[in-house]
Amino acid sequence: MSAPDSIPPPPETVVARLRPHSRALFFPTVALLADIGAVSYFAGSLPEEWMNLLLLAAGAVVALLLFVVPVLRWLSQNDTITTRRVVIRSGILVRSRQELLHSRGYDVTVRQAGLQLLFRSGDVLINTGNEHPVALRDVPDADLVQSALHDLMEASFNPIAARRRHDQRSYPGETDEQDVG
């Protein structure tokens, strides 16, 4: 017979996977369209064949530098929030990974500036007590991320009370099912 304290914790589940807001891809996309337009306009109209090849090579380099590199950089930033921790991954050539456990406790702050206010995104700063807070940069719907982190941290400290509060809440899209007996 086992004691009630030896009940295994529920499995870790992913709550959210986050990337920076996609508006960061606006200018690289405009640059790619301008590059394609310029290369297609001038291609074939230059007097020498080597000039046309040089134009195509220059267009490919510009597309690589102004579109492919920013898209790869955007794709390389990945934040995952689970029921037990926050995992922050970043880097293209050198990958770094940082984990923060909800059970250790931290302060969560949202900082919004400029276009972030318009798009409801922001930087979610997680202060763990170290010198520099951990930042989830330019995440969409930053206020929702902040409240989810507060709920997950509270659930890690008092799982029974948090489960009771979660069961009593009504969320949009949920229907109340009555037990017909």
Q: Count of domains in the chain?
A: 2
Residue 7 has pLDDT above 80, yes or no: no
The tens digit of pLDDT for each residue in 129-175 reads 877 888 999 999 999 999 999 999 888 877 665 556 556 655 444 44
- The count of other CB atoms within 10 Å of the CB of residue 4 is 5
CA dist., res. 65 & res. 50, Å (int): 22
Same domain, 164 and 85: yes
pLDDT higher at 80 or 177 = 80
Judgement on whether residues 44 and 104 belong to the same structural domain of the protein: no
Percent of the chain with pLDDT over 70: 83
Q: What is the pTM of this model?
A: 0.75
In this structure, the number of other CB atoms found within 10 A of the CB of residue 63 comes to 17
Asked if pLDDT for residue 16 goes beyond 90, the answer is yes
Joined tokens for residue 149? 């982190």
pLDDT at position 1 over 70: no
Q: Which domain holds residue 99?
A: 13-20+80-168
